[in-house]
Structure formats: structure tokens, C-alpha cells
Amino acid sequence: MDSLIDNNKSFIGKVANDLFRSMNLAQAGLNLDTDDLKQAGNLGLWKAVPKFDAARGMKFLTYAAPALRNAMMDMVRDAFTAFEQRMLTEGKDGVCYQRVLLDDVLPGEEQLRCIEAIADPYAMQPQSIVVV
């Protein structure tokens, strides 16, 4: 098992470098580097080892490549989500953003949902559009 991992470390590095360059992660501000991606790839490879069946006639790398790439992409996706959350709370240039759910009820006497508050008052109501 350890030999499979040791023999494929260079492939993990190649995939991590390619992904880092193709997604332009150096400029994305996600605080990710190729070492982080390599670590995620190692974890993906580690999870693929016990599930690999050599009797099926497939090379290990062919089997494991999607697992390690998916592990790297999951790390990037999590970093993007964390970045979006930071932008919602901290804001850029001092401006704060707040996530609003359209089903939330606005405070006040009228008890409007957010979607009702932003609806176009001049739009035709669905009942008047339907032709009988």
C-alpha cells in the first residue's frame, strides 16, 4: 500500500501544479498553494488504495486519478466557500455584504417577505396572465 503511494507522488505533484495554474489560484486570494493541493491529492490517493482491485485489469493510476483530482477540487471548492463567507461578513473596501433569503419576513407591521418587497409593482399578476 505504501509503495503505491510512494510510486505516484510525482503524479500527484503534476496534477496539483496543473490545477493550480489552470485555475489561476495564485491570484485568487484563497490562501491555497500547491502543497495544500498535493496534501489533498495524497488523501484522495490514500482513500483509493483499499478500494483498488488489481484483478480487474486496470492500472492503479487510472483508477486513482479521479479520486485524487476530486479531493483537490473539493479543497478548492471549500476554499472558495470560505472566501465567499469572508466577503459576506468582512466586505471589500469597508462595504459589508449580507446574505438575504427571499423567504425571510421583513420586520415591520406589513409582514412582507423579502421577495414581495423586491417584486416589480407594475408587473402583471400571474392570475391576470392566465388565459381561460
CA distances from 117 to 28, 88, 108, 126, 128 (A): 35, 22, 12, 17, 20
CA terminus-to-terminus distance, the chain: 69
Retrieve residue 5's grid coordinates: 503511494
Task: Give the residue extent of every domain in the chain.
Answer: 1-132
* Per-residue pLDDT at 15: 94
pLDDT at 38: 93
Residue 67 binned pLDDT confidence (cut-offs 50, 70, 90) = very high
Query: Can you give the length of the chain in residues?
Result: 132
- Residue 71, pLDDT > 80, answer yes
Q: How far apart are CA 104 and CA 111, in angstroms?
A: 10
**CATH number corresponding to 1-132:** 1.10.1740.10
8 A C-beta contact, residue 63 and residue 4: no
Average pLDDT over residues 14-37: 89
What is the 3-class SS of 26-77, one letter each residue? CCCCCCCCHHHHHHHHHHHHHHHCCCCCHHHCCCHHHHHHHHHHHHHHHHHH
Q: pLDDT tier at 75 (50, 70, 90 boundaries)?
A: very high
Phi first, then psi: give them for residue 52, nearest 5 degrees. Answer: -75, 135
Instruction: Work out the pLDDT band at 26, boundaries 50, 70, 90.
Output: confident
Cell of 78: 471549500
pLDDT digits 0-9 by tens, 81-131: 887 777 666 555 555 555 656 667 767 666 666 566 565 656 666 667 666
pLDDT of 65 reads 92
Res 74: pLDDT: 94
